[in-house]
Amino acid sequence: MSLERAPHIPVLLGPVIEALSPASGALFIDATFGAGGYSTAMLEAGAKRVLAFDRDPSAVEAARPLCQRFANRLIVINAPFSRMEEFARIEETPQGQPPVEGPFADGVVLDLGVSSMQLDQADRGFSFQTDGPLDMRMSQAGDHAGRSAAHLVNTLAAETLADILYTYGEEKKSRWIANAIVKRRAERPFERTLDLASLIARVLGPRKADGRHQATRSFQALRIAVNDELGELARGLAAAERLLKPGGRLAVVTFHSLEDRLVKRFLAARAGKQAGGSRHLPEVQAIARPSFQIVNQRPLSADEQECADNPRARSSKLRVGVRTEAPPWPPDTDLEVPQVEF
Ligand SMILES: C[S@@+](CC[C@H](N)C(=O)[O-])C[C@H]1O[C@@H](n2cnc3c(N)ncnc32)[C@H](O)[C@@H]1O
């Protein structure tokens, strides 16, 4: 591996590559390119080609040297992975031919959340440790009508803000925080990450025994809202289902329980197992054949060594499914994605 200078250490790299088995297929999709750790490893392990996506233009810009190194074998597209099917079909269609139909991918991998580069750049506004503009937009542009975290914090009603903090951050004190935000912004709007983080810390009091910063949950919630991360995930999983050939592998690395629950439910439902919480699932399951087989019933986690080497790995979970011969399920199959309207 030639990742010594990569700014982002790929999480669960060995198990992900083993799950995808790149040498046994031709085309793999890396839906979350980041610093290209997975793409590089897949290509080095024998994948003929990798089609990669990242919604962050700076990740795509930084991919140029890798694209040169793997000339014609690596293509990196600046788009959200919810749209990977559309872009992948265009990319796979020879010039002048009608768009390719049916599945053609041997593997799809999603490594969710933000990269170390995004977290470390204070001016992206993801961090409550270093001061920066309260932004959090991964694409720095069009996410959720382009609304930044500051826009949400300074304009939404207290009730909606509290719903966001509770639903996307599982923050139990969401109402206290939302009310304090609304009171404070009447005097002076929030513009900086540390300003918001210190208000949340004041509302919640001293840190808990786990040592995590008091703003951890709220920042997670705002980031998910700004980037519509759960909606993206649901659409990305359905796109992967349509793109994967029979026998193709889906590998998803998650970093918090909301993401993991969604992936778990998706795979359980598609594997024909009752995944609780979905209104229409029994009706769909009655007519649709299982489109995935689950590889590991329990998700894989990073071992002690990896967690010691890379603290980001601590909360990671890997779930893997193998695509069956069955057709993809209807696109509107209800996944019960937690959503706050705003
Ligand atoms: C955890 S990093 C991926 C790291 C990568 N596996 C590596 O080894 O370098 C997540 C990346 O996915 C991107 N991302 C997150 N959500 C996305 C989405 N919905 N569509 C496209 N890219 C997304 C982020 O911009 C970020 O660069």
The pLDDT assigned to 76 comes to 98
Same domain, yes or no: 31 and 109: yes
* Residue 134 shares a structural domain with residue 94: no
Could you tell me if 128 and 109 lie in one domain?
Answer: no
Q: Mark which of 192, 227, 262 sits at the end of a domain.
A: 227
Number of domains in the chain: 2
Tell whether 110 is covered by a domain: yes
Residue 163 belongs to a domain with what CATH number?
1.10.150.170
Q: Give the 3-state secondary structure of the chain.
A: CCCCCCCCCCCCHHHHHHHHCHHHCCEEEECCCCCCHHHHHHHHCCCCEEEEEECCHHHHHHCHHHHHHCCCCEEEEECCHHHHHHHHHHHHCCCCCCCCCCCCEEEEEEECCCCHHHHHCHHHCCCCCCCCECCCCCCCCCHHHHCCHHHHHHHCCHHHHHHHHHHHHCCCCHHHHHHHHHHHHHHCCCCEHHHHHHHHHHHHCCCCCCCCCCCHHHHHHHHHHHHCHHHHHHHHHHHHHHHEEEEEEEEEEECCHHHHHHHHHHHHHHCCCCCCCCCCHHHHHHHCCCCEEECCCCCECCCHHHHHHCHHHHHCEEEEEEECCCCCCCCCCCCCCCCCCC
Instruction: Judge whether 44 lies within some domain.
Output: yes
Q: How far is the CA of 30 from the centre of ligand 1 (A)?
A: 9
Note whether residue 336 is domain-resident: no
Confidence band (pLDDT; 50, 70, 90) for 7?
Answer: confident
**Is 35 near ligand 1, meaning CB less than 6 Å away?**
yes
pLDDT at 140 over 90: no
Mean pLDDT confidence for 262-268: 95
Confidence class for position 3, pLDDT limits 50, 70, 90:
very low
The protein residue whose alpha carbon is closest to atom 27 in ligand 1 is 34
Question: What distance in angstroms lies between residue 32's CA and the mean position of ligand 1's atoms?
Answer: 3
Residue 324 C-alpha to ligand 1 middle, in angstroms?
Answer: 27
Say if residue 240 is in the same domain as residue 104: yes
Local confidence band at 1 (pLDDT 50, 70, 90 cut-offs): very low
Determine the pLDDT at residue 276: 57
Ligand 1 atom nearest 115 alpha carbon = 2
Note the pLDDT tens digit of each residue in 277-293.
566 777 777 778 999 99
Mean pLDDT (the chain, rounded): 93
The answer as to whether 207 is a domain residue is: yes
Residue 103 sits in the same domain as residue 17: yes
pLDDT at 108: 98
Please say which residue of 175, 201, 227 terminates a domain: 227
> Does 17 share its domain with 109?
yes
Write out the residue range of the structural domain in which residue 282 sits.
Answer: 13-116+229-323
Asked if 197 and 60 sit in the same domain, the reply is no
pLDDT digits (tens, 9 = 90+) for 286-316: 778 999 999 999 999 999 999 999 999 999 9
Which residue's alpha carbon is nearest to atom 1 within ligand 1? 115
pLDDT of residue 74: 98
96 in a structural domain: yes
Which of 198, 227, 256 is the last residue in one of the domains? 227
Residues 155 and 247 grouped into a single domain = no
Q: Ligand 1 in contact with 319 (CB < 6 A)?
A: no
Residue 51 lies in a domain: yes
Q: Is 163 in the pocket of ligand 1 (CB under 6 A)?
A: no
334, part of any domain: no
User: Domain check: are 43 and 95 in the same one?
Assistant: yes
* Prediction pTM value: 0.94
pLDDT, tens only, 75-123: 999 999 999 999 999 999 999 998 899 999 999 999 999 999 999 899 9
Same domain, 221 and 168: yes
Q: What are 181-211's pLDDT values in tens digits?
A: 999 999 999 999 999 999 999 999 988 878 8
Q: Quick check: is 169 in a domain?
A: yes
Residue 247 has pLDDT above 80, yes or no: yes
Residue whose CA is closest, atom 4 of ligand 1? Answer: 34
Q: How many angstroms is it from 171 CA to the middle of ligand 1?
A: 24
Q: Residue 301's domain is classified under what CATH number?
A: 3.40.50.150
Residues 221 and 245 in one domain: no
Same domain, 264 and 317: yes
